[in-house]
Amino acid sequence: QVQLVESGGGLVQPGGSLRVSCAASGNTFRISEMGWYRQVPGNARELVATITDGSRTNYADSEQGRFTISRDYVRNTVSLQMRSLKTEDTAVYYCYAFVRGRYWGRGTQVTVSS
Q: What is the mean pLDDT of residues 45-51?
A: 96
Alpha-carbon distance of 67 to 21, in angstroms, equals 13
Give the residue from 107, 113, 99 showing the smallest Cα distance to 9.
107
pLDDT of residue 81: 98
User: What is the C-alpha to C-alpha distance for residues 5 and 64, in angstroms, rounded to an integer?
Assistant: 25
pLDDT, average across residues 6-23: 97
Kindly indicate the confidence band of residue 61, based on its pLDDT and cuts at 50, 70 and 90. confident
Checking DSSP bridges between strand 108-112 and strand 10-12, what pairing results, if any?
parallel
20-56 burial, b at 16+ Cβ within 10 Å, e below that, comes to: bbbbbeeebeebebbbbbbeeeeeeeeebbbbeeeee
Instruction: Round to whole Å and give the CA distance between 10 and 108.
Output: 8
